[in-house]
Structure 1
Amino acid sequence: MLFLILCLHPAAAALEGQIRKMTVETKAIPHPVEIAVYTPPGFDPKRADRYPLIIQLHGGNGSSDNLTQMAAILEAAVSEGLLPPSISVMPSAGRSFYMDYRDGSQKWESFIIGDLLAFMRERYPVSPGRAGTFITGVSMGGMGALRIAFKHPELFAGVAGMEPGIEPALAYADIKLRDRFWRDQSLFEEKYGKPVDEAYWADNNPATIAKRDPDRLKGLGIYIEAGDQDMFFLHHGSEFLHRILFDSGVSHEYRLVRGGEHVGPSVGPRARDAFSFFGRILNPPGWINGQVIAARRSIDAMKQAAGYPVLPVDPERLRTQ
């Protein structure tokens, strides 16, 4: 799939912060990796209160150049008070799926959680731990962000997968033509082995990872979205993952955007909403207040009177009972 240029939210056209290009040396990839780093307006390199770090992953055949578009949307979201000023980084990863290849020739996941994260924390005043570290991406980048966060939830406070390039399947053999017509078999074999190692595919499939051990995702803020008109049918994969998480009791936020396409004017506002989700993790809105707790007590009394069990509330889990 060729990378398709996203259309910006009209309110996110100008960029006041700065974007710098540089390279990161690594043994995980056969060559130095180009990255783009966004710093917000008024950036203070000596700031004691460290900035949140948002790792952004571009779509297939994109590059770090795409950070210019996404940083403008991020900056507009900050100006609206949806999240605090943040630093963001985007590596150029071609069409790598952000995976550690089965043959070991390229290790993008290892690069992102290792050399890239260490580079940003050494060079910039960003969060040194999980609490202020986020990962997001669009299309292929959404798939990569979800996979990396699901495999390493101890590293991230939140993940946002926008129209992620994931299939509605738990096993490689169950992928339908509808969900892979735009990916040549050689693309799978490059990443997962030739022939495709189906166990390795499952080990790197976000839905399978979540299904196997959903309790590992407790405490990770998860945001998944897709447009219901997606030309690559990626809303099927997003819906599938949503159902896996829902049925496993994993708290998350899911949006199927009415009329949204894979590209075009809907993408900018949707990215704004994803950044807003990170803002709510950083500054919880306090939706469970005294009024809510009092109402719960009243409803719990009704449950008990009806003979229905009343279970303790766990804000990290869905209320499935």
Structure 2
Amino acid sequence: MKLLAGLFAAIVAVLAPAAQALEGKIVNLKVESSHVAGPVDVAVYLPAGYDAKRAAAYPLIIQLHGGGGNSGNMTGMAETLEAGIKAGLVPASVSVMPSAGRSFYMDYRDGSQKWETFIVTDLLAWMRANYNVPKTREGTLITGISMGGMGSLRIAFKHPGTFQAVASMEPGIEPALAFKDVNLRDRFWRDDALLQSIYGKPVDEAFWAANNPATIANTNPESLVGLGIYLEAGDQDMFFLHHGTEFLHRILFDKGISHEYRLVKGAEHVGPSIAPRFLDALAFFGRILSPPTSWTEGPAVKQARQRVDNFKRAAGYPVKEPDGQRLRVE
């Protein structure tokens, strides 16, 4: 749809806090794959001073563009990433963005395209073979906006052993656990032809559920323990994506899965709110990579916790040790 292509261009146009030349560089390449119609255009961002032989690998951030976008959108994303690096929100990182059309980053029901497989196997292996990035889960991160927000959630939720964290911005997800419960408000921008090309004709409801982040979280929450999860959406989103994001937040909350969630007051799907919101997501990655232990283990915190625990005991309420991987739900 031309509308969606124009909207994603609007997102990218405002990503950089200020238009300025990159100190790092973007390399445009093609990656061969038997899983999708290739070769796939990819853009790789290398931070200023990138050292291929540095002892410590650079964190890898896989970025997934929105519907109508492509790897050319890396420019605006990289400018904001670089601003986050300079501000100390996130360490110098390598980033990659593939061109995926409007694939939803899915392995199609008919097997004709396998974008999830491409990202988790081909692209990740290619980055690890060619750049100084982590060879393991630690330091391997994934993020995306809109369609990319949906794709990043699904891929991370289905492969939590591959990614240390996911940061999903305004993800294109529905407030439903079953396809039959998706109403027009939450799918008006997806026509039947697009859905059926990916999920089957008619839509295979079991296949849809197996690839729906909310259903994955509701069915198998234990698999997400230890995965860093960041969700956000604007409360004025023109596609009503805040409904699906809030729905997923509530499932994670009720299942006791630790995560960070932001409903951004006054923020739209596009516009000047995007850049600071992306910086917030990068700051989350920074906290995942270097956890601020003083938030929960500092002297003042421990002293306050002891006092509150005493109040609990006096009231006859059981005292439990906190678990940083889970919400404090008792």
The TM-score range, normalised by the shorter chain, is over 0.9
Give the letter for the 1:304 counterpart: R
Partner of residue 34, structure 1: 41
Give the letter for the 1:95 counterpart: R
Alignment of 1:159-238 (within 5 A): 159-238=166-245
Alignment of 1:1-321 (within 5 A): 1=1, 2-3=4-5, 4=7, 5=9, 6=11, 7-11=14-18, 13-286=20-293, 287-288=295-296, 289-321=298-330
Give the letter for the 1:269 counterpart: P
Once residues 118 and 284 of structure 2 are traced to their aligned partners in structure 1, the CA distance between those partners, rounded to angstroms, is 26
Query: Structure 1 length normalisation: TM-score?
Result: 0.98
Give the letter for the 1:316 counterpart: Q
Question: How far is the alpha carbon of 1:13 from its aligned partner?
Answer: 4.1
| Deviation sequence 1:140-185 (CA, Å, 0-9, x none) | 0000000000000011111011000000100000001000111101
Question: How far is the alpha carbon of 1:300 from its aligned partner?
Answer: 1.1
Give the letter for the 2:318 counterpart: P
Gaps of 5+ in 1: none
The number of aligned residues is 321
| Deviation sequence 1:53-102 (CA, Å, 0-9, x none) | 00000000210001111111000000001111000000000000000000
Give the letter for the 2:324 counterpart: P
Once residues 12 and 133 of structure 1 are traced to their aligned partners in structure 2, the CA distance between those partners, rounded to angstroms, is 28
Contact 1:19 1:37 in 2 (8 A): yes
Gaps of 5+ in 2: none
- SS at 2:135 equivalent: coil
| Deviation sequence 1:118-154 (CA, Å, 0-9, x none) | 0000000001111100000000000000000000001
- SS at 1:104 equivalent: coil
Once residues 302 and 102 of structure 2 are traced to their aligned partners in structure 1, the CA distance between those partners, rounded to angstroms, is 48
Once residues 12 and 302 of structure 1 are traced to their aligned partners in structure 2, the CA distance between those partners, rounded to angstroms, is 54
Query: Structure 2 length normalisation: TM-score?
Result: 0.96
Contact 2:230 2:281 in 1 (8 A): yes
Contact 1:11 1:76 in 2 (8 A): no
Once residues 94 and 268 of structure 2 are traced to their aligned partners in structure 1, the CA distance between those partners, rounded to angstroms, is 28
Contact 1:158 1:281 in 2 (8 A): yes
Once residues 245 and 71 of structure 1 are traced to their aligned partners in structure 2, the CA distance between those partners, rounded to angstroms, is 30
Give the letter for the 1:104 counterpart: G
Root-mean-square deviation (Å)? 1.0
Contact 2:224 2:257 in 1 (8 A): yes
Give the letter for the 2:312 counterpart: K
Once residues 242 and 12 of structure 1 are traced to their aligned partners in structure 2, the CA distance between those partners, rounded to angstroms, is 34
Give the letter for the 1:64 counterpart: S
- When residues 59 and 38 of structure 1 are mapped into structure 2, their CA distance, relative to the original with a 3 A threshold, is same
Once residues 229 and 313 of structure 1 are traced to their aligned partners in structure 2, the CA distance between those partners, rounded to angstroms, is 35
Contact 2:16 2:76 in 1 (8 A): no
Once residues 216 and 12 of structure 1 are traced to their aligned partners in structure 2, the CA distance between those partners, rounded to angstroms, is 41
What percentage of aligned pairs have identical amino acids?
A: 66
Contact 1:12 1:76 in 2 (8 A): no
Once residues 288 and 24 of structure 2 are traced to their aligned partners in structure 1, the CA distance between those partners, rounded to angstroms, is 23
Contact 1:51 1:87 in 2 (8 A): yes
